[in-house]
Structure 1
Amino acid sequence: MSWQFSDLIDLKALLVIALIFIPLEALIPHRHEQKTLRSHWLNDAFYMFFNGILIKAGLLVVVGGALILIGYLIPDSVGQLVQSQPVWLQAIEVIVVADIGFYLAHRAFHAFPFLWRFHAVHHSIEEMDWLAAHRVHPIDQVLTKSASYLPIFALGFSPAAIGIYVLIYQWQALLIHSNVRINFGPLRWIVASPQFHHWHHANERQAYDKNFSGQLSFLDAIGGTLYMPDRMPSKYGTNDAVPTVYHEQLAYPFVANRPRPKGLASAVGDNKQ
């Protein structure tokens, strides 16, 4: 199944990614003062190497189990109809359907305090770069990816179309977290860009609970959650007491309740600054 490869990063792929993004961030950085080996880079390297196994195992259970149930509800004719379309059209549809699922799941992780504690690990990033994209709690990643994968597998899209989506998603996820000064121009209102996603990570009150889409920024325009001023953020991160070490971050959501400074698009968020 195609989704089994979505988090697979072998040494060769890692070398290619590093050879692209490290020079790119050095040549056209958003933050010139940020070093390549910035704070907590080793912690995020642990995520890159070890999270994949946990996430794939979780997806096998969640997505695999759900698909067994869905198989009884959706007739095979639906998949046959979907796969009768050209692959390029299927790929576009997969991106849209998957990102709607991502948007809804991502918004839920900001709306519900217990879910936020998993997602706060990702928002603890204070220096954005391609490596920081990997700092995601496995449970956060499993549930969010399940929301993306379930509808596209249930509808029976072809492996080729899903493969195109996975490839585009992986590279776009690295790009939108990276420390690069790339302007998408008018396309930024349609496609998620570094500017778009950096504002999602901004530690500025106006940007809280904004820009939830992973690939298609226009979904936030439709959902009323788009925030993309002309400038870039000056500060990232969250004031939540998230530890800085990998194994402590994995345990963080399960420890005693803490007040949630960021989120819910309410007065609760005012405590963050």
Structure 2
Amino acid sequence: MNDLSGLKQLLLVVLIFVPFERLLAARPQKILRRGLLTDMAFLFLNGWLVVGGVIAIMTAAVLVNQSILPAAVTQTIGDLPYLVQVPIVILIADLGVYWTHRILHVVPAMWEIHSVHHAVEELDWLAAVHQHPLDVIFMKAGALFPLYALGFSAEAIATYLLIYFWQTWLVHANVRLNYGPLRHILVSPEFHHWHHSSETEARDKNFAGLFSFYDVLFGSAHLPKGQNPKTFGVDHPMPSSYLALLAYPIVAWTSKRKRNDPPAAQPHMPSGGEPAQPRQSAPLS
């Protein structure tokens, strides 16, 4: 969101989701909540840090498309009609989101990055952008690399990105929506709120971005009927400022490496710099 078009999109998101959260609030919460300024920093500054990674992802994918994959495969995909490509693109991209998201939880070094996103304790639409740039790049790699490598059309990929753009705001929004009988097929706000819950039974669950049936298929769904998550965040101190959160994974990795060194005088890490503890998740299978 670095240009006029991005600002217009942001204004539209604000005009939609602020009143939406007032009308269908899942929890009592102020608009000017704690951490709002930090989230605004993520919103306006992250894009500049992510763009290089996205360009690298697309470049690598195009190289794979042109030099590794058989021309018959890429041509067949490219010849598919737009309306056929779009659902395939969405299914492939969300499968990529599922597994990259799950890796961010189960690999300790990756969790240090992703815990920045889970540090949000008052969940609403703006929490969608509270992500470390490395987190964003890794998730985009999982979703976009296979699409560009396989040669899907720019129009089909753009359609997926538009759908995912709005879905990201929606599933973080502080609204009461559970989708009824479709709750185990499509990711609803209720479904994703459980993903952010700090309650033990909800940890490392509900990784999909659009299709909750991926979590059902791979045994990571958690959606207890008639219950709602009560608390959010992680169970250790986290920094609160934008720059400190950017530095957090490096500080945590360094601290962990020092603790694994032979016994020696260890410098005390200030409050908010304790490394994130890896979560216990279902095996990657």
Are the structure 2 counterparts of residues 219 and 69 from structure 1 closer, same or farther at C-alpha, using a change threshold of 3 Å?
Answer: same
Larger Rg: 2
Structure 2 match to 1:181: 176
Q: TM-score with structure 1 length normalisation? A: 0.90
Question: How much does 1:61 deviate?
Answer: 2.0
Are the structure 2 counterparts of residues 7 and 208 from structure 1 closer, same or farther at C-alpha, using a change threshold of 3 Å?
Answer: farther
Question: How much does 1:76 deviate?
Answer: 3.1
For 1:254 and 1:40, locate their aligned partners in 2 and report how far apart those are by CA, in whole Å: 22
2:160 matches 1:165: yes
Alignment of 1:41-56 (within 5 A): 41-56=36-51
2:277 matches 1:265: no
Structure 1 match to 2:240: 244
In structure 1, what residue type is equivalent to 2:9? A
Q: Over the residues paired in the alignment, what is the CA RMSD in angstroms?
A: 1.9
Which one is further off, 119-128 or 9-18?
9-18
Are the structure 2 counterparts of residues 8 and 66 from structure 1 closer, same or farther at C-alpha, using a change threshold of 3 Å?
Answer: farther
Which one is further off, 134-143 or 73-82?
73-82
Residues 102-126 of structure 1: per-residue CA shift (max 9 Å, x gap) = 1111111111111000000000011
2:231 matches 1:235: yes
Does structure 1 conserve the Cα–Cα contact (< 8 Å) formed by 2:171 and 2:188? yes
Does structure 2 conserve the Cα–Cα contact (< 8 Å) formed by 1:8 and 1:52? no
Are the structure 2 counterparts of residues 259 and 12 from structure 1 closer, same or farther at C-alpha, using a change threshold of 3 Å?
Answer: closer
Question: Runs (4+) of structure 1 moved beyond 6 Å?
Answer: 5-9
Which one is further off, 164-173 or 59-68?
59-68
Are the structure 2 counterparts of residues 252 and 38 from structure 1 closer, same or farther at C-alpha, using a change threshold of 3 Å?
Answer: same
Q: TM-score with structure 2 length normalisation? A: 0.87
SS of the aligned residue for 1:18 comes to helix
For 2:33 and 2:276, locate their aligned partners in 1 and report how far apart those are by CA, in whole Å: 27
Does structure 1 conserve the Cα–Cα contact (< 8 Å) formed by 2:195 and 2:202? yes
Alignment of 1:38-117 (within 5 A): 38-117=33-112
Structure 2 match to 1:23: 19
SS of the aligned residue for 1:189 comes to coil
Question: How much does 1:7 deviate?
Answer: 11
In structure 2, what residue type is equivalent to 1:250? L
Residues 26-61 of structure 1: per-residue CA shift (max 9 Å, x gap) = 111001x20011110110011111111111111112
Does structure 1 conserve the Cα–Cα contact (< 8 Å) formed by 2:105 and 2:204? yes
Structure 1 match to 2:265: none
SS of the aligned residue for 2:135 comes to helix
SS of the aligned residue for 1:10 comes to helix
Question: How much does 1:87 deviate?
Answer: 1.3
Which one is further off, 9-18 or 252-261?
252-261
For 2:185 and 2:4, locate their aligned partners in 1 and report how far apart those are by CA, in whole Å: 28
For 2:247 and 2:21, locate their aligned partners in 1 and report how far apart those are by CA, in whole Å: 32
Are the structure 2 counterparts of residues 176 and 135 from structure 1 closer, same or farther at C-alpha, using a change threshold of 3 Å?
Answer: same
% of aligned pairs identical? 43
Question: How much does 1:147 deviate?
Answer: 1.1
Alignment of 1:117-156 (within 5 A): 117-156=112-151
For 1:114 and 1:196, locate their aligned partners in 2 and report how far apart those are by CA, in whole Å: 26
In structure 2, what residue type is equivalent to 1:11? L
Unaligned runs of 5+ in 2: 257-273
Does structure 1 conserve the Cα–Cα contact (< 8 Å) formed by 2:239 and 2:245? yes
1:35 to 19, 26, 30: 30
For 1:25 and 1:36, locate their aligned partners in 2 and report how far apart those are by CA, in whole Å: 9
Which one is further off, 239-248 or 64-73?
64-73
For 1:41 and 1:10, locate their aligned partners in 2 and report how far apart those are by CA, in whole Å: 19
Does structure 1 conserve the Cα–Cα contact (< 8 Å) formed by 2:105 and 2:279? yes
Residues 67-112 of structure 1: per-residue CA shift (max 9 Å, x gap) = 3245311133322211322212211111110111111111111111
For 2:93 and 2:217, locate their aligned partners in 1 and report how far apart those are by CA, in whole Å: 16
Q: How many residues align?
A: 261
For 1:70 and 1:84, locate their aligned partners in 2 and report how far apart those are by CA, in whole Å: 15
Are the structure 2 counterparts of residues 6 and 152 from structure 1 closer, same or farther at C-alpha, using a change threshold of 3 Å?
Answer: farther
Structure 2 match to 1:215: 210
Question: How much does 1:239 deviate?
Answer: 1.5
For 2:31 and 2:242, locate their aligned partners in 1 and report how far apart those are by CA, in whole Å: 20
Question: How much does 1:178 deviate?
Answer: 0.3
Does structure 1 conserve the Cα–Cα contact (< 8 Å) formed by 2:61 and 2:146? no
